[in-house]
Amino acid sequence: MRTLDPSRTPEYRVVMSVIVGACTFAALGSIIPAVEYASNVGVVGLIVLAVLVAALRLLARFVRERIEDATDRRTAAAWQAAHQHIRVERERVTAGVS
């Protein structure tokens, strides 16, 4: 059973773990400069990784949309070719009617 107590939800525990970890790194970084340097490099690395992932996702989406557009054009051309005789018959029937 889910309760409304925030200390019992998994999201609360994850958020609090991240906050405690950040505070621990900050406290250690103020004492040991190597920890601060390592955490700065790690954060910059995560930012670069996030930007790279976002760019690759956008590129994949762009390529996927172009492939879908090409497939749609091929499907439309095949459908029109398969139903060309119906359009020609309609044009013949309605050609004499004004």
Whole-prediction pTM: 0.57
Residue-averaged pLDDT of the chain: 86
pLDDT at 69 over 70: yes
Q: Where are the alpha helices (DSSP H) in the chain?
A: 10-31, 33-82, 84-95
Residue 26 C-alpha from the chain's centroid: 32
pLDDT at 31 over 60: yes
Q: Please answer whether residues 27 and 19 qualify as being in contact, where contact means their C-beta atoms are separated by less than 8 angstroms.
A: no
Q: What number is the average pLDDT over the span 20-34?
A: 90
Per-residue tokens: 57? 């996702």
Residue 58's pLDDT is 97
